[in-house]
Every structure is written in C-alpha cells, then in structure tokens.
A and B are shown apart, each in its own frame.
Chain A
Amino acid sequence: MTHEAIELHALLHRIAVRTGIAAAWGIVARAGAAAGGGLLLWALATMIVPVPFPLGRSAVALGAILAATWSVLVWRCRPSASVAAQIADRRAGLCDRLSTAVELLARSPQPAGLARLQVADAVIAAQGVEPRAVAPLRVPRETWLAGAACLLLLLWAHFLVGWSLPATPAAKALAVVHREGQSVIAAGRRLEAVGRSQALPEAQRLAPQVQALGRRLEGPRVDREQALGLLRDVGRQLGAAQDLLQRQLDASLPQTNAPGASSRPTSAAQAGADGQRLQRLDAAVRQVRALTGQLERGGAPVDPQSLSTQLRALAESLDQMNAPVSTRERINQARQEAAQGHLSAASGSLNEAMQDLQGLERMVGDEQALGDARQNVQQSAARIAEQGPLGGANVPVSGEPSPSAPPPQASGPNPPSGTTDETGAPPPPGPNQGSLPGQGTGPQLGAATPRLQGTRVQVHVQGVPGEGPSSMREIVAPGQGGTSRLPAGRPPAAVAHELDRAMSEAPLPPTFLQLVRQYFETQGGTP
C-alpha cells in the first residue's frame, strides 16, 4: 500500500469511527427518549392503577441496556471506507474525489495514468479535510427529550411518588395499605406490651421496628410494592429472631415427636406445641414455686417423705417434658437434701431450678410473641397483596374492617340497613369485633392483654455509685432472700439466651465465638 493510500485510509477511518459514534448516539438517544417517555407514562399510571413501578431498577436496567446497545451500534454503524469517503465528499464539497480514489485503490494498489493522478489529487484534497467538521459529534435532539423525561421522572420520584388520584384503584389500594399500617402499629404495640410485661428481650428489641413499619405504612407516600417490601423485610427479621429462639429452645428443651410425625412441623403444629410446652413449663414453675414456698415458709412442719414424693413426681414430669439436665439434677439434688432433712439447702436447689424454668418460660414466651407479631405482619402483607396489581375488586377506602375478617354481626340499636354502603357495594365481611354500634365499621379492638404469669424478680441496689463498695441483694420472692452470687455451674437458659444473642450481634469471628462458648461451658461443668 502506498503512502498516499495509507494517509487516505487513516483519514477515512477516523471519519468512519466518528460517523459510527454519531449514528449510534442518535439511535440510542431516540431509544432513550422513547424509553424515558414510557417510564414516565408508567409512573403516571401508578397514580391511577396500583401497578408496581421499580424506578431504580428500571433506570439501572435501561441505562445498562442503552450503554450496551451504544457499544454494539458504534461497531455496527461504522461505515466502510467507501461510504465514509462519500460522506466526506458530500460534507466537505470534494465532488466525489475521495470516493473515486478509494475505489481506484481498491481496484489496484498501484494505479497508473489518470487514476494515479486522481489518487494524488484526492490525497491533496483530503489534507484539508477535518474529521471533526466532516463527521461532527452533535448531541441529537432526542437527547434533550430523554433528559427531560429523566428530569420529570426525578420530579415524580421526589414529589409525586405514592400519590394517587381520588376514586381510582390506586387510591383504594393505598387505603388498604394505610389500614394495614394501623393494624401493624397495633401488633407492634402488643408486642411491646408483652415484651415489657414478661421481660422478653427479643420482643422488646423488635417491637419498635414493627411500630415504625406501621407508621411508615400509614404515611402518605407509600405505594403497594413498597409496603409489601417493607412488610417482607420486617417479617424476615421477626422470622430470623424467632428461628434463633427456636433453635435455642430446641437445644435446651428438646420436644418429643410422636412416631411418624413430620420432622418439620407446620406453623399451626408449632404454635400448638409451643402452647403445650408453655403450659407444661408454667405448671412446673407453679409446682416448684409451691414447693419452695412450702419449704421457706417455715410455719407448719414439712413431712420429708411427702416432700420427697412430690419432688419425685416433679422430676418425672420434667423428664417427660425433656427439661434441661441441670434443672432435673437440681430437682434430684433438692429431693436428696429434703430426704436428708436439709430443707434450707433443698429450698436453694429448688430456687435454682425455678430460675432455669423461668428462663425457659421467657424464651418460649418470646418466641410465641414474635410468632404472633410475624403472623400479623404476614396477614397484613397478604391482605395488601390480595388487592392485586390492578387494585382488586372491592376494596374499602378507609376505616373499614379487613375483607378477610368474618362478616359483621352487629346487632346494636341501629343495625345497618340492607347490604349496601355509600358506594353501593355490600359491606365487607368481618366479625363484629371492634365495629361501632350500628355502623358495622370502626377500628378493631386490640388483642386481649396477656396475663402476667411469671414471678417478678426485683433487683435492689444499695450504696452510692462511686463511693465505696456496693452490695446487691436479689429477692426471689416477696420477703425471701437469696444468694447474690451463684456457684459456678451451667448458666440458666435465659442467661445463655441473652449471652448468645449478645455474642451473635458482636462482630467477632466464628472461631473466637466458639472459644468463648467453650470457656464458659467448661467453667459451668457441662459435659
């Protein structure tokens, strides 16, 4: 290839690349404008129908697609040398000099006669050609359209997202979300109350999150998909905490499955098992407390034989419910001490056993409370999801009971007449619980306040902080003192539960956690 040909092709290559970029940019700009317009319409449609609109993901996907398309188009739209020469001829007014030269060079690398003179003439003409002028990289007009669409989308995301036009399916879906927000707040309050009254650590920790979720759902700018996502997140957190408790309970208090039963019980079966376990623990705690009170009252003389018999029955009961070995050992120890006439020592052993059982009881209660809250969250999510992406059929706008509730059975002084409400639709099914008299509508009443079943442990601290030693005395029961320092032994289940939780939250490597666990288990004499 001659020097002239190399020079000519270098120029045409630059023109071809710039032309390809410009063409690709134009196509991508048109596609971007169309896609931006589509997204804008989609966003506006969410104000009428509650269709999901993942703006962030759509924008990222669209950007990635456009970038990939641009790269491919730059390569595909790059014209050949002949076409690039024609473009340069036309835009630089070269009267087909370059295209003729390219063709002559393609026919013969060493042209002769007038062809050689023509190529030389074309090279001279090409020296005055500026690729930037011949193939300018102008911003296509459609780019401004795409930019305007993006700007409008940003404005929509900032000011209009979550809004809906009145009397539209979107408004109805939003009303359902708001109502479920109230329901979630109530569930959060219940969880908080249960956690506080029963000293349930996980319930107390997660209750604020559930309430915050409810308040977020009650807010003015939350759409259906967002609400479902938030509910999923909180449900996942509740489920994770519940699973952790479940694993700890299974380790401390293994259940005895019936032969042939499924290895993974259903949630209903699990709830039943938990209730049964809680009842047994409660009964065991009451029994231990009664025995301890009997020993510590010191009024009437205690018959060691009778006490031993009662303790044996208690030990058998604990055996049946697979109570922890340490608890059973302490019961046996109390029985032996009672048989030997050491009633005070027997009382101490029973106290320790009772603390173990109370810790287990709190864990079961914690797990049960989390399960209830999780169920409430899942029900709310299900009710929101029932509306479907297009708003469902008959959705109450505000303050109406959940459609999944039983039909109303109001029989107040002013019962609802007929089966139509203001909108002409029949009243939603649901129980009369929480409805206003004669209206069939109104806020739901909360769940019944759970009874306080545990023994309250009060901690009194004496002394002034920073001045001299302080002493602490635990009062296990009213008027009954206990030891402030426990002998080395296996920690109670509640303490182990707290420690496990604290360690799981600490940013420590698993091997280190294992070392810590082994240390305390060794100190506690765990086999």
Chain B
Amino acid sequence: MTEPAGSRDVDEFRRSFAAVRQELGRVIVGHESLLDLVVTALVAGGHVLLEGVPGLGKTLLVRTLAQALDLRFSRIQFTPDLMPADILGTNLIVQDDAGRRRFEFQPGPVFAQIVLADEINRATPKTQSALLEAMQEHAVSTAGVSRPLDEPFFVLATQNPIEMEGTYPLPEAQLDRFLFKLRVVFPGLDDLRAIAERTTGPEDPTVSQVADAAAVLRMQVIARQVPVASHVRDYAVRLVLATHAASPQASAAAKRFIRYGASPRGLQALIRAGKVRALVQGRLNVSVEDIQALALPALRHRLILSFEGEAEGVDPDDLVRQAIEELGAVPTPAGGA
C-alpha cells in the first residue's frame, strides 16, 4: 500500500522538478514548454515522441536528462535494417573456463533507464513493435523469459517529419503507447544566438546531478496521489469522446475528419500528466485548465484521420482545439448565471 504523501513530500517533489528543469534549461536553449512536458512525462511514467527536424538538440536533451538524474542512458539509431534483437538483446552461446557451453542473454540497448529511439520511423514495423512490451510493461520477453527493466524506464523517440521516403509510419498501437507527442520547433533568433554563444565557447555547459532514480520513482508515487474532482474527470472523458466521430459529444470537425478518436490511454495520459502539472503549478488538485493545457500533446498522435482529413491535410491539433472550444471552458453548473 502506498504511503500517504505529506507536505514535505510535496515540497521535495516541487524542488526536484524545478532542479531537473533548471539543469535542462542550462544546456538546452529555448523550448521551455517542451522541456516542461518532457519532465512531466517522465514523472507521469510515460514516454515521449519528439517530432522535429535533425539538429534541434533532441539527443542532447535526453543525454542531459540522464545526467541530471543519474540514470543509465542508451541511444538506438533506428535504420531499416535494424532487427528486434538489436534492440532487445539476444541469447549467445558462451563457453566457460571448463569448456561448457551455455546460452547467455546479452541485453540490448533497451535495457537502460532512458532510451533515445532516434528516427524511430526509419525501422520496419517489426522492429518498431519490439519496443511495445518494453514501453507498456517495462519488461522484455526473450526466449520465453521475461526480464524486467530498471525503473524508471523512459523512452524518448524522435522522428523526422520531412524526410518521409523510406520511412515506416508508426502503427497506431505503437503511437498510443507514447504519453506525449511533442513538436520541436525551430528556434527563433534569440535562441539561435544563445545556442551559438553557449555551444561554441571554450567550455561546454556542465550538468550536475540533482536527483536520482529513487527520487524520480518517489515523485511518480506522489503525483499519482493528487486528487481529481469528478467534474474535472468528466471533462477529460467528454474531451476524449469529442474526438470520436460516432460519439454524441463529437465535435463537428471530428465527425468529418476523424476516423478513430483518442483511446482510453489518451484519457489516462490526460489525467496522469494533469496530476504532475497540478503539483508543478503549486496546486494539489487537477483542474480543467490542466486538462486543456495537456490536450494537444496527449491527444494529437492518437487521432486517426479519415480519408477526407488526410486529403485536406487537416492538422490534428486543430481538431483537438476545436473539440475544446465546442466543449466549453467549464461545464455550466445548474443555478449559475
């Protein structure tokens, strides 16, 4: 049974989150909300899919995060010829000093705590799906043996939205396992100046460890205890249903452009991430504003557009925004003016 958190735990949570966030900001220039959401996903126990052109500091972000938390980090460069065993690991025949041969499991790069799946859409679906069990169950099954991964386990995948030739779009089941899909935008003028100044000087910025795996796990436990009011939960449910064309709560755009809406994992993502955001914002309860703020990163990759939506190049972000607008800010209470 989970031990109830006290005010000291909450203070520790906020202090750790702020420290991690500060360390990331010391290395990564700009991308403030992106950094917030990455740490939020880590504390919420989810994984993140980063979408952006190369050279925007995705790898640096993951490495900095691992250094700040003192977590084991591995990077997998996904290519078309990458095989599942290259990720998960394989059984090798090993001969000991006595001359006896035996199979010994050689863990793959997934056996880390922070995994960077770089350009994940370049691997074949077979290889992509090798991550399914690891991401969902935090375990890897090979040769009939299930091997748990070390906690916290955090996958940060990237994909290039421009070079689409020779890529394999992630299947829906794979996409659904990411808590957030974050878009890394190109930095602005000031950010570029800061990048040039910070990365071309005589010394690279150093990262100090501000937390460890135990602290992250403790933060995850505290976050899960944040209470959610029923009307806030109902709002999240109605928002998810608003992305389903067949639902009575569906928005007009959803009925036209969406083939399949967000899954229950989307609802879970909204609530779990909302709890972390509430604590970070200095509250001890999830609010409707939290749900609205997290709707785009939590739902955009879960919407499967219809043929019409694909043909017209509809942005899922617009569909989510329209669903929020049609849903209203807050359900109108009876008796209120």
A and B part of one assembly = yes
Residue positions of A touching B, CB distance < 8 A: 16, 19-20, 22-23, 26, 77-79, 82-84, 86-87, 89-90, 95-97, 99-101, 103-104, 112-115, 117-118, 121-122
Cα(A86)–Cα(B232), bound, Å: 10
The 4 A-B pairs at the shortest CB distance, nearest first, are namely A113-B4, A79-B335, A100-B285, A95-B287
Cβ of B288 to closest chain A Cβ, rounded Å: 6
Of the candidate stretches B142-150, B221-229, B265-273, the one touching chain A is B221-229
Flag if B231 contacts A86 (CB, 8 Å).
yes
**Given that A100-B229, A117-B7 are known contacts, is A19 also in contact with B336, CB under 8 Å in the complex?**
yes
Residue positions of B touching A, CB distance < 8 A: 4-7, 10, 222, 225-232, 281, 283-290, 329-331, 333-337
Flag if B283 contacts A113 (CB, 8 Å).
no
Which of A20, A82, A100 counts the most chain B CB atoms within 10 A?
A100
Chain A residues near B334 (CB, 8 Å)? 79, 83
Give 17 A-B contacts (CB < 8 Å), ordered by A residue. Answer: A19-B335, A23-B337, A26-B337, A79-B336, A82-B231, A83-B335, A86-B231, A86-B336, A90-B330, A95-B290, A97-B283, A100-B285, A100-B286, A103-B229, A114-B10, A117-B5, A118-B226
Flag if B336 contacts A96 (CB, 8 Å).
no
Cα(A407)–Cα(B6), bound, Å: 105
Flag if B227 contacts A114 (CB, 8 Å).
yes
Flag if A121 contacts B284 (CB, 8 Å).
yes
Flag if B284 contacts A117 (CB, 8 Å).
yes
Chain A residues near B285 (CB, 8 Å)? 95-97, 100-101, 118, 121-122
Which of B7, B281, B283, B290 counts the most chain A CB atoms within 10 A?
B283
Cβ of B188 to closest chain A Cβ, rounded Å: 30
Flag if A99 contacts B231 (CB, 8 Å).
yes
Cα(A101)–Cα(B286), bound, Å: 11
Flag if B227 contacts A95 (CB, 8 Å).
no
Chain B residues near A82 (CB, 8 Å)? 231
Which of A78, A83, A101 counts the most chain B CB atoms within 10 A?
A83
Chain B residues near A99 (CB, 8 Å)? 229, 231-232
Cα(A118)–Cα(B283), bound, Å: 8
Flag if A114 contacts B287 (CB, 8 Å).
no
Chain B residues near A104 (CB, 8 Å)? 227
**Given that A99-B231, A118-B285 are known contacts, is A87 also in contact with B333, CB under 8 Å in the complex?**
yes
Which of B10, B226, B289, B337 counts the most chain A CB atoms within 10 A?
B337
Cβ of B272 to closest chain A Cβ, rounded Å: 15
Flag if B232 contacts A87 (CB, 8 Å).
no
Flag if A114 contacts B226 (CB, 8 Å).
yes
Cβ of B235 to closest chain A Cβ, rounded Å: 10
Flag if A87 contacts B10 (CB, 8 Å).
no
Cβ of A393 to closest chain B Cβ, rounded Å: 53
Chain B residues near A97 (CB, 8 Å)? 283, 285, 287
* CB < 8 Å neighbour of A23 from B6, B229, B335: B335
**Given that A23-B335, A23-B337, A86-B330 are known contacts, is A115 also in contact with B227, CB under 8 Å in the complex?**
yes
Chain A residues near B229 (CB, 8 Å)? 96, 99-100, 103
Chain B residues near A101 (CB, 8 Å)? 285
Cα(A86)–Cα(B329), bound, Å: 12
Which of B7, B284, B331 counts the most chain A CB atoms within 10 A?
B284
Which of A77, A100, A114, A115 counts the most chain B CB atoms within 10 A?
A114
Cα(A16)–Cα(B335), bound, Å: 9
Extra pairs beyond A23-B337, A114-B225 (4, CB < 8 Å): A83-B333, A86-B333, A103-B227, A117-B6
Q: Which residue of chain A has its CB nearest to the CB of B331?
A: A86
Flag if B333 contacts A114 (CB, 8 Å).
no
Flag if A118 contacts B284 (CB, 8 Å).
yes
Chain A residues near B226 (CB, 8 Å)? 114, 118
Which of B4, B222, B285, B335 counts the most chain A CB atoms within 10 A?
B285
Cβ of B280 to closest chain A Cβ, rounded Å: 13
Flag if B289 contacts A77 (CB, 8 Å).
no
Chain A residues near B6 (CB, 8 Å)? 113, 117
